[in-house]
Structure 1
Amino acid sequence: MASLSVAIAFGVRLLLVLLFLPFSALDKILNFKGAVGQAREAVHATAPATLLILVGLGVEIGMSLCILTGTADRAAAFVLAGYCGVTALLWKPFWRPGDFWSGGKGRELFWDFLKNFALAGGFLLITFGTGAGTVQDFLTDPLGSTHPYAAESGFPKG
């Protein structure tokens, strides 16, 4: 039963990071020039756009690996939650096209915007836990691990 629990814990974390590792990271690597071009839409200059893509690549790979391995996973999930929020604001500006009510690009961006924030919520569950009593764990030791693959359950016995 313990191996099933570990497999489920790993599978849930894999589902959370799957968008970033391998897909988004691999897309940035294989289509680096295109990724920089997309980043230029937000910053309008090649050097800062390149830096943004490199930082994004580091965040996507590094933080995803931390979440999968359980190493400083709270901090990594917090960073990825912020990353989701920032990318939603920079690259999913549904308010700009002005065609939200007519079903155009603004409406498509709106759903992507919400998906980013929903994903951020999933990462914040790793960061802060699922209840008010677990928030203090992160505040006390932000670089600590949730020990996702430990055999004992995280639920109080009662």
Structure 2
Amino acid sequence: MTSLSVAIAFFVRLLLVLLFLPFSALDKIVNFKGAVGQAKQAVHATAPAVVLILIGLAVEIGMSACILAGTFDRAAAFVLAGYCGVTALLWKQFWKPGDFWSGGKGRELFWDFLKNFALAGGFLLITFGTGARTVDSFFADPLASSHPYTVTEAR
């Protein structure tokens, strides 16, 4: 049963990061010019857009790997939660098109906006744990691992 528990713990974490590693990161690499073009919508200049994409790649690959490996996973999940929030605010601006109630682009962006924040909530569960008593442990040592693949005997 121990190997099943470890497999489930890994699979749950994989589901959380699957969007970023490999898919979003790979898309940024394969379609780098298009990714820079999308980033230019927020910063309006090529050099800062390239920097944003490179930072995004580092976050998506590095933080996802930490979460999967269980190394600095709580801090990595905190960073990815912030990343989801920032990307929602920069690129899922449902309020801008002005066609929310008519079912246009604004309504589509709204659901993407909410999905980003829901995903951030999943990462915050890794960061802080599932109960009020586990929140203090993050603040006490934010770089500590949650040791997700350690199985202890039930008492």
State the TM-score, normalizing by the size of structure 1.
0.97
User: What is residue 8 of structure 1 aligned with on the other side?
Assistant: 8
Q: Is residue 32 of structure 2 the alignment partner of residue 32 of structure 1?
A: yes
Unpaired runs of at least 5, structure 2: none
SS at match of 2:95: coil
User: What is residue 99 of structure 1 aligned with on the other side?
Assistant: 99
Q: CA deviation at 1:16?
A: 0.1
Write out aligned runs for 1:112-127 (5 A): 112-127=112-127
Separation in structure 2 between the aligned mates of residue 13 and residue 100 of structure 1, nearest angstrom: 33
Write out aligned runs for 1:1-158 (5 A): 1-152=1-152
Sequence identity of aligned pairs in percent? 83
Unpaired runs of at least 5, structure 1: none
Q: CA deviation at 1:152?
A: 1.4
2:143 counterpart letter in structure 1:
L
1:146 counterpart letter in structure 2:
S
1:28 counterpart letter in structure 2:
K
Q: CA deviation at 1:103?
A: 0.2
Separation in structure 2 between the aligned mates of residue 27 and residue 98 of structure 1, nearest angstrom: 29
- Give CA deviations for 1:11-34 in whole Å, capped at 9, x if unaligned: 000000000000000000000000
Separation in structure 1 between the aligned mates of residue 5 and residue 101 of structure 2, nearest angstrom: 45
Q: CA deviation at 1:151?
A: 1.1
Separation in structure 1 between the aligned mates of residue 137 and residue 64 of structure 2, nearest angstrom: 21
- Give CA deviations for 1:8-66 in whole Å, capped at 9, x if unaligned: 00000000000000000000000000000000000000000000000000000000000
Separation in structure 1 between the aligned mates of residue 97 and residue 138 of structure 2, nearest angstrom: 39
Separation in structure 1 between the aligned mates of residue 133 and residue 36 of structure 2, nearest angstrom: 42
Q: Please tell me the root mean square deviation across aligned C-alpha atoms, in Å.
A: 1.0
1:80 counterpart letter in structure 2:
L
State the TM-score, normalizing by the size of structure 2.
0.98
